[in-house]
Amino acid sequence: MKPLPFEKVTIVMGSRSDWSTMSNATRPLEELGISFATAVVSAHRTPQRLVDFASRAHESGTRVIIAGAGGSAHLPGMIAAISPLPVIAVPIESRFMTGMDSLLSIVQMPRGVAVATQAVGVSGAYNAGLMAAQMLSLCDDELQQRLIAWRERQTEQVPITVE
């Protein structure tokens, strides 16, 4: 079996079909020059892979985990229950309740198992990448300066007038 990848930010999802959403988490990371890895880790179909990943990520160079999950959405919470690292959750849009089932499942974490939950879908994935960058910038002055410049560019792109 191929070994799991690890980087400063590791993005995991329960299924390859989640990549169309989770790929958006990579955009701010790429723009800010932050290394990341991606992997499919299913809470239900690959439980041992989940345990191996979550228990080793902090020893393998990962500093923040972004976990996307749909439906019953156990992946972020299970990782947070095992790993000491911060976990940012992205509820994936589903066929049944357009992602509300995922969102409600993720945000109901019990006391003592923290998960930072983003919006459902593409915006949530993008913001998860941005949140990971903000977390990493707390201990990286160069990254913090890149993040400040990134925000200034974002602000400059908003027009002052409507024509």
CA-CA distance, 111 to 5, in Å (whole number)? Answer: 30
95 labelled as ligand-binding? no
Query: What is the pLDDT averaged over residues 40-61?
Result: 95
Average pLDDT, the chain: 94
Residues 135, 34 contacting (CB under 8 angstroms): no
Q: Supply the range of the domain harboring residue 27.
A: 9-156
- Predicted model pTM: 0.94
pLDDT in tens, 76-101: 999 999 999 999 999 999 887 888 99
pLDDT at position 162 is: 87
The CATH number assigned to the domain holding 131 equals 3.40.50.1970
pLDDT at position 95 is: 81
Q: With bands split at pLDDT 50, 70 and 90, how would you rate the model's confidence at 1?
A: low
52 labelled as ligand-binding? no
Please give the tally of structural domains in the chain. 1
Task: Classify residue 91 as exposed, middle or buried by CB count within 10 Å of its CB (0-12, 13-18, 19+).
Answer: buried
Q: Judge whether 4 lies within some domain.
A: no
Q: Judge whether 49 lies within some domain.
A: yes
123 labelled as ligand-binding? no
| Alpha helix (H) residue ranges in 11-156 | 19-22, 26-31, 47-56, 75-82, 100-107, 122-137, 141-156
